[in-house]
């Protein structure tokens, strides 16, 4: 089944798309996706292949997750999400554990964003949230992004505490991809409870990286956006 899935994925491959994706996901020397390889499969096609192989054993999906090909890792995550959602309690725990021991392979923002809320967030909904804070303290960029993005599961259930705590932890983070994720999650909180987002912003907007603040206030009226930006960190 593993080789069949790889072959099915390659039926959708495009050399032109591969070149575009190599640039888009910053795979050059010194960039965040350095060394990643693409075969040029678009996400809808990858999702189609995932549905075809939804019954793939988790062990095979884990093997796929260790691939050097980006689209194969995305395919593995999509399959694992489905297995998690349909699984027993023991199977869910197995997939959660598998996910956390393979974070070095969940190593670009699209891989994190498609999966973290559906595996990590979903699993921790009724459990201790301590693993999220361990991830947020990680030296690894992608583990920190997993910590933020996993809380999207909680946000969708109108539970915001962990998101706000993690964003506060990451206010001094150096990486733009963390700023974007944190600002995005603050914006999602604001969609559901504007008062909660604005209370956080009143306390912390002067300490936020500019990108984080811009993402957080993206949907605000123009005059309110301007006021926050004029008072935010780095305002000139």
* Residue 82 in tokens: 């489905």
Structurally, at CATH architecture level, domain 109-236 sits in Alpha Horseshoe (1.25)
Helices 70-86 and 89-101: angle between axes, nearest 10 degrees:
160
pLDDT of residue 234 exceeding 60: no
pLDDT confidence of residue 236 = 44
pLDDT confidence of residue 103 = 97
Read off φ and ψ for residue 179, nearest 5 degrees.
-60, -45
For 70-111, what is each residue's pLDDT tens digit? 999 999 999 999 999 999 999 999 999 999 999 999 999 999
Mean of the per-residue pLDDT values of the chain: 95
Average pLDDT over residues 140-158: 98
* CATH 1.25.10.90 intervals, the chain: 109-236
For 7-62, what is each residue's pLDDT tens digit? 999 999 999 999 999 999 999 999 999 999 999 999 999 999 999 999 999 999 99
Helices 2-10 and 70-86: angle between axes, nearest 10 degrees:
120
Q: What is the pTM of this model?
A: 0.94
Secondary structure of the chain in HEC code, one letter for each residue: CHHHHHHHHHCCCCHHHHHHHHHHCCCCCCCCCCCCECCCCCHHHHHHHHHHCCCCCHHHHHHHHCCCEHHHHHHHHHHHHHHHHHCCHHHHHHHHHHHHHCHHHCCCHHHHHHHHHHHHHHHHCCCCCHHHHHHHCCCCHHHHHHHHHHCHHHHCCCCCHHHHHHHHHCCCCCCHHHHHHHHHHHHHHHHHCHHHHHHHHHHHHHHCCHHHHHHHCCCCCHHHHHHHHHHCCCCC
CA-based nearest residue to 69, from 5, 141, 149, 147: 5
pLDDT confidence of residue 235 = 54
């Amino acid at each position: 089944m593993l080789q069949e899935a790889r072959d099915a994925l390659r039926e959708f491959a495009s050399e032109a798309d591969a070149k575009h994706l190599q640039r888009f996901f910053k795979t050059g020397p010194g960039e965040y996706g350095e060394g990643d390889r693409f075969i040029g499969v678009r996400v809808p096609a990858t999702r189609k292949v995932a549905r075809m192989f939804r019954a793939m054993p988790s062990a095979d999906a884990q093997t796929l997750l260790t691939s050097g090909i980006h689209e194969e890792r995305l395919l593995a995550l999509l399959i694992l999400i489905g297995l998690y959602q349909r699984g027993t309690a023991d199977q869910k725990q197995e997939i959660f554990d598998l996910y956390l021991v393979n974070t070095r392979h969940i190593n670009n923002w699209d891989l994190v964003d498609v999966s973290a809320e559906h595996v990590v967030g979903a699993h921790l909904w009724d459990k201790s949230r301590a693993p999220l804070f361990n991830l947020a303290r990680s030296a690894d960029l992608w583990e920190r992004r997993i910590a933020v993005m996993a809380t999207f599961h909680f946000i969708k259930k109108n539970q915001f505490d962990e998101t706000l705590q993690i964003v506060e932890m990451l206010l001094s983070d150096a990486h733009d991809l963390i700023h974007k994720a944190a600002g995005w999650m603050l914006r999602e909180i604001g969609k559901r409870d504007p008062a909660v987002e604005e209370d956080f912003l009143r306390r912390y907007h002067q300490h936020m990286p500019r990108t984080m603040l811009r993402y957080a206030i993206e949907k605000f009226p123009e005059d309110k956006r301007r006021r926050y930006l004029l008072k935010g960190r780095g305002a000139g």
